[in-house]
Chains A and B, each alone.
Chain A
Amino acid sequence: MSTQPDSASAPATSSRAGKYLTFFLSGEEYGLEILKVSEIIGLQPITRVPRMPDFVRGVINLRGKVIPITDLRKKFHMEANGTEDTCIIVVQMKGVQTGIVVDRVSEVVAIAEADIEDAPSFGAGIHTEFLLGIGKAAGRVKLLLDIDKVLVTSELEALAAAQSHAA
């Protein structure tokens, strides 16, 4: 199978095909569009920001810029468990830089549209709206994240939480 995105034949859905940076979270492998990733940095001292929901770990100094850090484990309601490989992926969404904490960065893979399936519905309680789809590469399943949706919902939730806290 081809790893090249076939944009001419399927313009409507071809946007999902492309290169993904994969990383591990609690044993599951996730993928992030490589174009959204600006860099990967080691875990560094994070300044906690008060009155924020727990998945907002705080802010760090990225070469003079203050960027917020989201803990994806907490965001996805997994158990907090830092490892030596824990690192921060800095993503760029709509010009805003944000860091996400992941367990371990794996590799960069190219996934063709044909190898991406829509996320199945698991029924109530399991949110899949921030999944672009589920990719298959080298016999493994990679959950492809729509990072804009992940972080946008986090922002909205954070705001809502802060407001209910203040009220």
Chain B
Amino acid sequence: MTAGTPLLSVEELVVRFRTHEGTIHAVNGVTFQLEEGERLGLVGESGCGKSVTNLAMMRLLPQPAGRIEGGHVMFDAQDLTKLREDELRSIRGRDIAMIFQDPMTSLNPVLTVEEQMIETIMAHREISRDTARARAIELLTMVGIPQPEGRLKSFPHQFSGGMRQRVMIAMALSLEPKLMIADEPTTALDVTIQAQVLELLRGLTEQSGTALILITHDLGVVAGMTNRINVMYAGYIVESATTLDLFAAPSHPYTVGLLRSIPRLDAQAGDPLVPIEGRPPDMRHKPTACPFAARCRWRLDVCWQENPPLRPTIEGTPIVLTGPGATHQIACFNPPTVEEQVAGRPMRAGFVTAPPPAGTVDEVGAGRIGSTDDLEGMIGDIQSEEGPISLAPSAGALPLPPEPEHHTDGFLHDD
């Protein structure tokens, strides 16, 4: 691969929050690397640790609760976890720029865009005010803000959401950073505006060779934007692959679940949704077993006891962490087969989802594999309270799940 060290190397990062409610195990040993100019997607649902990973890298964790309790973040041969605050400040903004979901919170409402942009540029560069101003105009033009000279005098609230995000991108790019971290940059925007902003982000980073980490819950967004993807769950990377590999063969049950639970625009008519039952785990307990086990239809007995490490999908493959040849890795003892990846549920003859050990929540309802009905959620809930056997505290009140396929007919204009 590329000679020398990667631009960014996160090694076994552990982040915990000490709160009144107990310790939150937000990030539990995350390792990944990034080459210059690479675009990496960090995908997962709220609370999976994707944003915390980002904040920890930049040492911007909410204080005093959030703490890096292990690991290193190597950037440009420096360990960001060990730098002094003033050394970090010169890296933030200049070498690593960030944009957030809500640009309004990261722009100062009482200063004009001009003042903020010039201030940012002059804080890191020894240039005159006029040069800085010219640079600001150039940047605003680049991100497609009409009449940039005039708009410089505007306050943040005078821009629409999409325009504000463009201003943020312009400010982030103003110092030609080596790495840009975008945390859900388009979640608050409408789809057509999202398209504008993503297009811009991709074009500009491609042009300048800036590496990008795109943090999002939307697998659709990363599909067209990134080279590689890390899927996170409960503070772990559960699947890591190039974008092409990941979508061609999603190999962790959680990734498969995510892909099968969103309706696709181009779906063939009649594809029913296969939800992931249950809910994300309580992060107050550091998982000792696979964190996804309670919601997983593929789980084996061992999944209730051991936490699978991240390892290559094809055993024995050397591990490459970056570039187009990055190894496809998953943290799973029993990955879905190719047909199962498509179907979203286990299809092997005779396979039974391992029942939960006593005292654990079963979100799937072992033995009911394959049913697409959401009632499983309820059964899981009830089992969680009463134990798996006594399903019927008031059995009369519980309508039994109808045949899985039958009720979907009416919705899916199949020809």
- Whether both chains belong to one complex is answered with no
